[in-house]
Amino acid sequence: MPELPYYYSEPFYLIAFIIMIPCLLIAGYAQAKVAINFGKYSKVQNKNRLTGVEAARRILNNNNLSHIAIQHTASEQPDHYDSKSKVIRLSDDVYESTSLTAAVIAAHECGHAIQDVTSYQPLRMRTVISPLATFASQAAWLFILAGLILVMFDFAVGGIYLLGIATILQLITLPVELNASSRALNLLQTNEILADTEMAAAKKVLSAAALTYVAALIKPIISLFGVLRMVLTYRRNRW
């Protein structure tokens, strides 16, 4: 009986395959969902004809957050709330747009601002941990490359551990974003940004956005397994 290739005989590869296939399917589904819902409702004007900046300003003022500024940022930069500068930054597609999607995104960023002023702990944790996660992710690749080039397996393993730590640290992002979306739904309604008949569409946009947060967490997991497979294969061939 012929011997099976090593990648079939190693339990790791079977486990990696079982984990990665669902991850890839979820990531693909998330991208499709975002493209459909964001694309659809970006072409639908909200009934109040509020631009993204007008919606955000109304929400902030109504919640005693008039001190928080709103800035127009470049299209290639994502919409976000800067907790250090106390600024909401909105892209071209949101700042001046009267689309339903623009209003929903503006409300989501306002949700982050409210998290900040109410001392929402997961947001504070993310603010503290984010630089650490970025450092761990960048340092990981240096260790991995150094380990492969210098044929020092311990260096490569250390890089994998760092990549794993960075992935775990990113877990904190998910509850922060989901909570901001939950707040956004309430803000859209209580501040009369959207009509009651538009709330179902708003939920679809936010649900699609929630999937992007899940996909964003899945990508480093896929990368982690991919790098681990590469290092183990390299070790088998070189060590």
Report the DSSP beta bridge partners of residue 134: none
Q: What is the pTM of this model?
A: 0.80
pLDDT of residue 37: 87
The tens place of each residue's pLDDT in the chain, 239 residues long, gives: 344 444 444 565 566 666 667 777 877 887 788 888 888 999 999 999 999 999 999 999 999 999 999 999 976 678 999 999 999 999 999 999 999 999 999 999 999 999 999 999 999 988 888 888 888 888 888 888 888 888 788 888 888 888 888 888 778 888 999 999 999 999 999 999 999 999 999 999 999 888 888 877 777 777 777 777 777 776 666 65
Sequence spans of domains, the chain = 6-238
pLDDT of residue 63: 97
CB of 83 closer than 8 Å to CB of 127:
yes
pLDDT of residue 107: 98
The structure tokens listed for 75 are 């299209």
pLDDT of residue 97: 96
Query: Active-site positions?
Result: 109
Cβ–Cβ contacts within 10 Å for residue 205, how many?
25
pLDDT of residue 1: 38
pLDDT of residue 70: 98
- Which residue matches tokens 């993310």? 126
Output the CA–CA distances (angstroms, integers) from residue 182 to 14, 20, 56, 204, in the order listed. 38, 29, 16, 12
Element (H, E) at 221: helix 199-238
CB of 123 closer than 8 Å to CB of 172:
no
The structure tokens listed for 58 are 């109304």
pLDDT of residue 225: 74
